[in-house]
């Protein structure tokens, strides 16, 4: 069996094999299906395969592209997609009962770009319902297991997209990241995950959770693989009003290898001592290959979890109002329209989604709007300014990706506060809108992966790829 992890075949290597004919698109897709068939029974990274019609038509297209010389590096490569991204004609449930039978009526822009590049969309990834969570335990269709230890969570909310890479089902996948949902599962599953600059990837056709925070991004085994997918899905999109225009993507290309570390923010209660030790070892390794590491302080970081859990709740409550039991999916008709609305939403949404809608409605209600929502927005602006200042001094900020390695299934699911704390290092990135990447950095004494997070300023994914490729060689 072709184990993508074991053979460490990158998509560039697979591309070479496909181009020189030592591998066919059909064989690659078959191997991917076989690995999934073999492993997914235990891991449950996937909610289902895309239709044979879709897969076969993409195979034909990919073969045509190789034949006429228009193949891209993604042509013929099997890809898994998080189930909150729309693929025309296919189920897209966001792992919610309320969308159990919902079929997308159009392609998300990122999907359109993958299809144009000749990629083979193969399966839908499990996730926390509507991307709310950090473990996939909030999926209405069962928890995904961590391929490194099936008693542990894979992280979340894009847990399925990370786990399928870790077990070798496909070389690359897509997830979404609102507060860490690509980076934290990447860290827990020992793979690479990229959250791009806000506005870099179109959100058109991606089910909204927190519209000012959400970004689509790739997972892969290597930084290079993730970079290749990034190059294909990114770009301006007139269908997304927050998409960055081309002129905003220009930069000077300079990289002085200066890393800032908010030391006092990282050395805190709740951060596992093994995580800290690993992080410090990683910094030492980086110093040996020419990186300069300096202490930085960002005062507002202490407030970011509170800021996130106000802004995100507010946006969730407004974004999810559209699931009313009338226009989409599950419908429980009641005696009046308002009863239908209540009953469909109560039957369709899980407890975490309901909790967030209620809290979001509260922080937006008159009398509390100024006290919570407006204050959070002010703190957000202050944090952005502090980041801008820090990026005048350093090129990159580094933190552990998560305060712990993968926790046990069930360990935090009854305690939302401790689950929310798991996002402490990832949420500031979404609040500020900058790009960040998580890269594997070895394993703990229980053989579970660690991840390191590198953060760059707006539009400087190039720096993440450079430091990421240097870092990969150190472990
Ligand atoms: N774990 C975070 C949350 O529960 C992040 C989710 C995400 O990025 N989609 O909100």
Domain borders along the chain are: 4-254
Atom of ligand 1 nearest to the CA of 176: 9
Does residue 131's CB lie within 6 angstroms of at least one atom of ligand 1? Answer: yes
**What average pLDDT is seen over the chain?**
95
For residue 311, pLDDT beyond 80: yes
- The alpha carbon of 394 and the centre of ligand 1 are apart by a number of angstroms equal to 27
- Name the catalytic one among 96, 173, 181, 202: 181
Residue 345: per-residue pLDDT: 92
Task: Give tens-digit pLDDT for 153-189.
Answer: 999 999 999 999 999 999 999 999 999 999 999 999 9
Does residue 214's CB lie within 6 angstroms of at least one atom of ligand 1? Answer: no
- The alpha carbon of 177 and the centre of ligand 1 are apart by a number of angstroms equal to 7
Are 370 and 378 spatial neighbours (Cβ–Cβ below 8 Å)?
Answer: no
Task: Give tens-digit pLDDT for 269-298.
Answer: 889 999 999 999 999 999 999 999 999 999
Contacts of 204 (CB under 8 A, 6+ apart): 108, 109, 237, 239, 240
- Name the catalytic one among 9, 39, 63, 82: 82
Atom of ligand 1 nearest to the CA of 210: 9
Distances (CA, A) of 224 to 50, 218, 231, 409: 26, 11, 11, 31
Count other Cβ atoms within 10 Å, centred on residue 42: 11
Does residue 352's CB lie within 6 angstroms of at least one atom of ligand 1? Answer: no
Measured by CA distance, the residue closest to atom 3 of ligand 1 is 133
Does residue 181's CB lie within 6 angstroms of at least one atom of ligand 1? Answer: yes
181 is annotated as an active-site residue: yes
Helix or strand or coil: residue 269? coil
Task: Give tens-digit pLDDT for 376-416.
Answer: 999 999 999 999 999 999 999 999 999 999 999 999 988 88
41 burial type by CB count under 10 A (0-12 exposed, 13-18 middle, 19+ buried): exposed
Tell me how far apart the alpha carbons of residues 391 and 460 are, in angstroms, rounded to a whole number.
11
- The alpha carbon of 398 and the centre of ligand 1 are apart by a number of angstroms equal to 20
82 is annotated as an active-site residue: yes
Does residue 132's CB lie within 6 angstroms of at least one atom of ligand 1? Answer: yes
- The alpha carbon of 162 and the centre of ligand 1 are apart by a number of angstroms equal to 15
32 is annotated as an active-site residue: no
For residue 460, pLDDT beyond 70: yes
- Name the catalytic one among 32, 139, 157, 243: 157
- The alpha carbon of 426 and the centre of ligand 1 are apart by a number of angstroms equal to 9
Q: What is the pTM for the complete model shown? A: 0.96
Contacts by residues 137-142 (CB-CB < 8 Å, ≥ 24 positions apart): 137/409, 137/410, 137/413, 138/95, 138/350, 138/352, 138/353, 139/95, 140/93, 140/95, 140/96, 140/97, 140/100, 140/350, 141/47, 141/93, 141/95, 142/44
Residue 333: per-residue pLDDT: 87
Residue 2: per-residue pLDDT: 42
Is the domain defined by 4-254 classed in CATH 3.20.20.30? no
Residue 58: per-residue pLDDT: 98
């Amino acid at each position: 069996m072709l184990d993508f992890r074991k053979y460490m075949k990158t998509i560039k290597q697979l591309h070479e094999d496909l181009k020189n004919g030592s591998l066919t698109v059909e064989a690659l897709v078959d191997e991917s299906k076989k690995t999934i068939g073999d492993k997914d029974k235990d891991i449950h990274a996937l909610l289902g395969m895309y239709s044979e019609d879709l897969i076969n038509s993409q195979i034909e297209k990919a073969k045509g592209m190789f034949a006429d010389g228009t193949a891209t590096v993604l042509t013929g490569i099997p890809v898994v997609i998080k189930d909150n991204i729309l693929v025309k004609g296919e189920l897209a449930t966001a792992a919610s009962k309320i969308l159990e039978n919902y079929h997308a009526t159009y392609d998300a822009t990122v999907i359109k770009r993958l299809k144009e590049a000749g990629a083979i969309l193969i399966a839908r990834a499990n996730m926390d319902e509507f991307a709310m969570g950090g473990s996939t335990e909030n999926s209405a269709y069962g928890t995904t297991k961590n391929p490194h230890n099936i008693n542990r969570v894979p992280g979340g909310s894009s847990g399925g997209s990370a786990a399928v890479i870790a077990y070798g089902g496909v070389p690359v996948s897509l997830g979404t990241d609102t507060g860490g949902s690509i980076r934290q599962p990447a860290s827990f599953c020992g793979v690479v995950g990229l959250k791009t600059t806000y506005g870099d990837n179109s959100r058109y056709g991606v089910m909204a959770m927190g519209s000012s925070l959400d970004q689509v991004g790739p997972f892969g085994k290597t930084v290079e693989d993730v970079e290749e997918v990034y190059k294909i899905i990114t770009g301006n999109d007139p269908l997304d009003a927050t998409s960055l225009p081309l002129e905003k993507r220009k930069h000077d290309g300079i990289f002085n290898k200066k890393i800032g570390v908010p030391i006092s923010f990282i050395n805190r209660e709740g951060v596992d001592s093994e995580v800290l030790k690993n992080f410090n070892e990683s910094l030492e390794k980086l110093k040996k290959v020419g990186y300069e590491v300096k202490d930085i302080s960002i005062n507002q970081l202490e407030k970011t979890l509170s800021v996130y859990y106000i802004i995100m709740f507010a946006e969730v409550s407004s974004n999810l109002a559209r699931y009313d039991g009338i226009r989409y999916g599950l419908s429980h008709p009641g005696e009046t329209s308002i009863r239908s609305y209540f009953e469909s939403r109560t039957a369709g949404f899980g407890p975490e989604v309901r909790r967030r809608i209620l809290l979001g409605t509260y922080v937006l209600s008159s009398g509390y709007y100024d006290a919570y929502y407006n204050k959070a927005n002010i703190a957000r602006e202050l944090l952005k300014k502090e980041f801008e200042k820090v990026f005048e001094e350093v090129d990159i900020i580094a933190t552990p990706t998560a305060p712990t390695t993968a926790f046990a299934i069930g360990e935090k699911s009854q305690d939302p506060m401790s689950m929310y704390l798991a996002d402490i290092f990832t949420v500031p990135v979404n609040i500020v809108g900058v790009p960040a990447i998580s890269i594997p950095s070895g394993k703990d004494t229980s053989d579970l992966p660690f991840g390191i997070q590198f953060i760059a300023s707006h539009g400087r994914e190039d720096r993440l790829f450079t430091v990421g490729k240097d870092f990969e060689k150190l472990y």
